[in-house]
Each structure stands twice: as structure tokens, then as C-alpha cells.
Amino acid sequence: MSFESLGLSAELLRAVSDNGYTTPTPIQQQAIPLILEGRDLMGGAQTGTGKTAGFTLPLLQRLVDKPHTGKGRRPVRALILTPTRELAAQVHESVQTYGRHLHLRSAVIFGGVSINPQKQKLIKGVDIVVATPGRLLDHVSQRSIDLSKIDILVLDEADRMLDMGFIHDIRKVLKLVPQKKQTLLFSATFSDDIKTLANGLLNSPALIEVARQNAATDTVTQVVHPIDKKRKRELLSALIGGNEWQQVLVFTRTKHGANRLAEQLGKDGITAAAIHGNKSQGARTRALADFKSGKIRVLVATDIAARGLDIDQLPHVVNFELPNVAEDYVHRIGRTGRAGNEGEAMSLVCVDELKLLKDIERLIKKDIPSVTFEGYEPDPSIKPEPIQNGRGNQKRSGRRPSGKKQSTSGRTSHRSNPKGHRNSKKRANNPNGNR
């Protein structure tokens, strides 16, 4: 199937071609015709499957097919809600990319930056708004946006929005948009909370699931490296330096941990920056831009970045600490292996995290290969300690790992080098080696 067969206009097909795409992904093949028909849609897809273009392209087509003909300021006719600033910026970039040959205006609004430039753009009139819920409601309260003319509402990463506590903001927004509209809900997981939200929001929706829920993409090679907690940074530096990795996304559990690790890597001679919710939007934007351009080799992130980063051909993702919520593992490693490219995801796992690892393996329905580096073997005398930090302590997530007794049985340890770690056994013993 080609994009030409999906019913898109010549202008949109030109934009798709400009970006080098010729064949739609499975979710694009299924979603685009249904959205063009005006159907409500509930879509489930792994990250990196082309979901954003799957709703952006038909959304643009429907706005062009039904142009605004009234006088005065053009109204906002399409609203796309996202959980994070980074994801909002990414989605808006897609809107601009695919709409470059159309006479439509768009704006992205999120917190962490001045509200005044956003207000000025909205007051001039835009057709499409991509927004985070909190900043959107700020504009509503300041009367710089009117949502009464919305024709299309998109909730992107709906499960993440609920996890982050946005349900009350979402309900406020729903009271401000017309009842009669087309609604598209996309979620990586279909929890009971998501189904409840969908039942009250969607009208006889079509359901699309292009992959098993919580499945890790087959293009990502996964491996676990058992290691004592105090030696994780030493091993990470050795792997990055010894293998000359130039672009590595590293996840930590806390903001403080991200800052500390970025600083420590810098002392090891590896350029790094941290990105998390306490950073200003300017700092987050600069860090991401430097990472994409190759100015820094390592971006250390908390889970705020797990679904909001889109980096072409990112080769390596490292879980410096496993997430407390197993589903977040899938979203983290989904930053690599995107759009059919191959990627590698490794997890540095200490004794405290063995229960979290079991939760992850149960979720993805597979055992992750375990590789122990010589010289970095875990000390068997170290006893596990409780993990207090992270999203798992937030009751609103509703998905805390079960409290069953920890088990270390069934783990396999091999004194060998994983695929792609050429000479890593030798270099792992030399953290101050070639970088």
C-alpha cells in the first residue's frame, strides 16, 4: 500500500515525499482512512510506529476539506493534547512538516516559557493548537483561546496523561469543547482508566491495535547487566568510552539522580546533560538540541522524556535505574529501534531492582538476556534495600508493582560480551580508557 492510495491530497503527498516516506506504517494504513471518514478512533500502538503522522495527516486533510469561511479571527478547529512539553513540540513539528504546503496556521502552547508570545499568536488566529493541559487552561482563563469551535480533538499518550494526574484538567477541557466533534484517543496501554475515559468521550469508536499491548519492538536488542549499585556509573562510563558510543540516552529514576549522573559523566570526560521537570524549558530545549546535533554524547533523563523524545536512529538506550512502573520500561526503550531501525537497550540492574526486573519480564512476556562483565560481578553478600523514589510511590498511577516476595531464581549470568560490545570485556575494566 502507498500513501497515494489513502485518499490524501496532492499537497500532503508532496510533504510526505519531501520527508522520504513512501510506504505507510500499519497504524497509518488503518487509521488514516477511518479518520478521513470522520470516525472516532481509539488507537493503540507501540512507540515509534508512525502514530503521530497517522493522525496528523488526516487531521490536516479534514481541515482543508472543510475550510473556515466566516469573518473575523479564524477559530481553533483542531486541538491536540499531549502530556509533556517535549511531546507537544514534537507533534507540532509534525503538523508544520506535513502542513507546509497548506494554508493552515498552528501553534504549540506549554508551560515553562512566557505565556505572552503564545497569547499573541493565538489572538492572531490559528487552525490547530497542540497543547499540554495545564497551559491550555491558563490560556482559557486569560481568554486568549476559544475552544467552542473545535471540530477535531486528539488525546495523544492518554495513559501517560492519566498517570501524570491530568484527568481533572482533561475533564475541564472536555466541558469547553463542543459535544459534536471527532475525537481521537491514542494510548500505548488500554488500562481500565483509559477505557472509562474512552467510554465517556468517544462515539462508537473504531479500535486499532497494531501490536500487542506493552510489547517491546522486535528491532530493539535488550540485555541486562547485573552490577552493584555503587559501580553502575563506573561500568556505564567504561561502556560508553570503550565502545566509543556517540549518542546514548540514559534513564534515571529521579531528577537529582539525573543531575548527579550527568555531572559524574562529565568528570569522566564524557559530555552529558540532564533533562527533567525541574529544568527550565530553555535548558531542556538546549540539551535536546545539543544531543541531537552531537554536541553532547549522553542525555540523562527521567521518565518525563520517555515518550516525548523523537531522535532519528538513536542507537543506545540505557536504564541506569529500572523504572518503578513496568510499563515505563517499554516507553523508555521505545526511544531506540524506531521506524524500522535497529537499536540496543541495556539495563544496569542491582540487587535492589530484581523484583522490578521480574515485573518487566512478566509484562513483556519474555526473559531479558543477562550478561555479567568480568571484574564487575555483583557482590553476593549485598542485601536488597527498599526503593523509595519514583513514580511507583504515586498512588494516582494505580499500577504499582505487586508486593510479592522478591525472587532471584531463574536469572542467567554469562561471562561474555553482548552483541555489539566489541572488546567491552577488556575495556570495561578501564573506565579511563579511550573516549
Residues 243 and 282 placed together within one structural domain of the fold: yes
Structural domains of the chain, count: 2
- Give mean pLDDT, residues 166-183: 94
Question: Which residues are CB-contacts of 65 (< 8 A; sequence separation ≥ 6)?
Answer: none
Residue 435: inside a domain: no
> How far, in Å, CA of 38 to CA of 182, rounded?
6
Indicate the residue among 155, 178, 209 that finishes a domain.
209
Rounded-to-integer distance, Cα 94 and Cα 431, Å: 40
Rounded distance between C-alpha atoms, residue 392 and residue 98, angstroms: 38
CB 318 within 8 A of CB 245: no
pLDDT of amino acid 274: 92
Last residue of a domain, one of 209, 233, 268: 209
Mean pLDDT over each residue of the chain, to the nearest integer: 84
> 435: pLDDT confidence band, cut at 50, 70 and 90?
very low
User: Does 253 share its domain with 382?
Assistant: yes
Distances (CA, A) of 165 to 24, 25, 42, 162: 34, 31, 21, 5
Q: Is residue 251 part of a domain?
A: yes
Query: Shortest CA distance to 389 belongs to which of 260, 272, 238?
Result: 260
Same domain, 232 and 300: yes
Residue with cell 529501534: 337
Give the mean model confidence (pLDDT) for residues 239-268.
Answer: 93
Instruction: For residue 432, tell me if it sits in a domain.
Output: no
Same domain, 399 and 359: yes
What is the reported pTM?
0.64
For 188-247, the pLDDT digits (tens) are 777 788 888 888 889 999 999 875 555 556 678 899 999 999 999 999 999 999 899 999
Q: Which domain holds residue 335?
A: 220-427
Domain final position from 209, 234, 263: 209
82 forms beta bridges with none
Amino acid at 7: G
Q: DSSP letter for 229, please.
A: G
Asked if residue 376 is part of any domain, the answer here is yes
Same domain, 314 and 405: yes
Band (pLDDT 50/70/90 cuts) for residue 408 is very low
Q: What was the pLDDT predicted at 53? A: 92
Residue 18 covered by a domain: yes
Please name the residues in contact with 349: beta carbons below 8 A apart, sequence gap of 6 or more. Answer: 224, 225, 226, 227, 322, 357
Q: Do 88 and 198 fall into the same domain?
A: yes
CB burial string 185-207: b at 16+ within 10 A, e below: bbbbbbbebbeebbeebbeebbe
Q: Are residues 244 and 135 in the same domain?
A: no
Domain CATH code at residue 344: 3.40.50.300
In this structure, which amino acid lies at residue 144? Answer: S
Nearest C-alpha neighbor of 327 from the set 209, 414, 408, 216? 216
